[in-house]
A and B are shown apart, each in its own frame.
Chain A
Amino acid sequence: MNLKKLGLIVTAVAAVLVLVTTYLAIYYAPLPATSVKEAGDIMPSVEGSSVTVSGFVTGLNITDLRMKDSPAVIEFSLADFVDYQRYEAAVAAGNTSSQWWTVRPIDVKILSGGFRSTSFGPDITNDVHNTTNISLSAAVTAGSIGENSQALGYYLYTPETNSVVISSSQGGFSAMTAPIAQKIFYFHMPSAWASYMGFIVTLVASVLYLRTRNVKYDWIAMSSAELGVLFATIAITTGPVWAKQEWGVYWRWDDTKLVTTFIMWLVYIGYLSLRAAMSEPTTRARVSAVYGIVGFVTMPMSLLSSRIAPLLNSSHPEVIASSTGSLSAQAGMTVGVAVVAFTFLFVAMLIKRFEIAENEEELEELKRVIGGEE
């Protein structure tokens, strides 16, 4: 099988997988757990949907009417425990709008116990207290039941307690603040993966070039670096779109992951610029190979920076091989398909770019023949 045929097959597989990824990301992957920041933005856009929310119970009010054969009505405001402290300070300071960590509690209403079918779940009236750390799935409902829902026009409601989980420790739940924008992750992370793959291939091909002086390795290194920059650009631009929703700011210069990834991107832009600035093929290949090897040091810096966040400073989510991070089965499958899709996409593009590099060499050769003749 020649390279052209292989390229076509890989391209076809990549196209199908990318379409499947898009479908899975939008329709199949569930909304992640959400916390309470910017609830006013989140809730209208998911009205009627069930969202999983975790947080800190405050302003609890239980109306227990079980003597009248009715379930107890548990109402409270749900806030993020850590940010709630900041929220109170911000309210006291009269400023709740301009800081990325500012939170706004969500009012929640749960029906519990009473003479109802057990399928509604256990009675939790004795388990919920102010300061309880709680996680629940509830429907976003238009209306107001408390101070916060009056402001927002929405509250969370569930007649069931099956989905309620009560934790003994504060901060025991993970939470996202922008559940819909989180679906950006299904393309952001595979793009970053493809860029890392590109820079690894550049490293290997650069080493092989220096060992063998076979110009084909130089073409592979160049093609791969170009693709690495493309996918890194996609990752670097989609990340801030998510960050604006999740963190409230597009970029954080104090975040190690973001800064190291930006440096990596600049280094490989430099690699391509360096190649463009040199016309002599052998010198260009040799210098580029050395640069490709030295510049690779930025790749593990970027990849590992969020894993050693306690030592450094990064709020970037850690997804794979994490003891704290976790994905649902559907989300995990979507990520898996996305990574395979982008791997195929990368290989398909690499084959195509390599073919072009070969053709460019042929063109240069013909120009040399013409030039020599003249």
Chain B
Amino acid sequence: MMFSSWLALYVAYSIVWLGVFGYLTYLFLRQRRINGDIKALREEVSKHGK
């Protein structure tokens, strides 16, 4: 129990950082997937002369 107070602090700060960076990573991956899909679809549209 000696480090419980410090441990609590580290756990809480980890939650904050994991939450923020986890969400940012999710946004980044989602953006990348959407950009990939858009690129592929644009190519398909241009291929068909649209």
Cβ-closest chain B residue relative to A348? B24
Return the CB mask of A6-45 against B: 1 if under 8 Å, else 0: 0000000000001000100000000000000000111011
Given A180-B6, A245-B8, CB of A356 within 8 Å of CB of B44: no
- The size bracket of the interface on A is 35 or more
Residue ID in chain A nearest B38 by CB atoms: A363
Do most interface residues of chain B lie in helix, strand or loop, or is the interface mixed? helix
Bound-complex Cα distance A244 to B12 (A): 12
Chain A residues closer than 8 Å to B27, beta-carbon distance: 349, 352-353, 356
Point out residues on B near A: beta carbons under 8 Å.
1-6, 8-9, 11-13, 15-16, 19-20, 23-24, 27, 30-31, 34-35, 37-38, 41-42, 44-45, 48, 50
Q: Which residue of A lies closest to B49 (CB)?
A: A373
Contact of B20 among A44, A244, A345, A360 (CB under 8 A): A345
Q: Which residues of A contact B37 (CB under 8 A)?
A: 363
Q: Does A184 lie at the interface of the complex (its beta carbon under 8 Å from any beta carbon of B)? A: yes
Which of the residues A40, A349, A355, A370 comes within 8 Å of B45, measured between beta carbons?
Answer: A370
Partner of B5, one of A180, A187, A373: A180
How close is A15's CB to chain B, nearest CB, in angstroms? 10
- Say whether A370 contacts B12, CB under 8 Å: no
Specify which of A183, A355, A362, A373 is in contact with B31 (CB 8 Å cutoff): A355
Residues 163-189 of A, flagged 1 when their CB comes within 8 A of B and 0 if not, give 000000000000000111101100110
Q: Are B19 and A180 in contact (CB under 8 A)?
A: no
CA distance A355 to B38 in the complex (A): 14
Given contacts A181-B5, A362-B38, A366-B42, contact A187 B50 (CB under 8 A): no
User: How far does the Cβ of B1 sit from chain A's closest Cβ, in whole Å?
Assistant: 5
Name which of B3, B20, B24, B30 has the most chain A CB atoms within 10 A of its CB: B20
Within 347-374 of A, Cβ neighbours of B (below 8 Å) are at 349, 352-353, 355-356, 359-360, 362-363, 366-367, 369-370, 373
A: residues with CB less than 8 A from B are 18, 22, 40-42, 44-45, 178-181, 183-184, 187-188, 191, 230-231, 233-234, 237-238, 241-242, 244-245, 345, 349, 352-353, 355-356, 359-360, 362-363, 366-367, 369-370, 373
A-chain residues with CB within 8 Å of residue B24 when the two chains form the complex: 349, 352
Knowing that A238-B16, A369-B45 are A-B contacts, what are 12 other residue pairs whose CB atoms are under 8 Å apart, sorted by A's residue number?
Answer: A22-B13, A40-B1, A187-B12, A187-B13, A191-B16, A230-B23, A231-B19, A234-B16, A241-B12, A241-B15, A242-B12, A352-B24
Cα–Cα, bound, A213→B35 (Å): 27
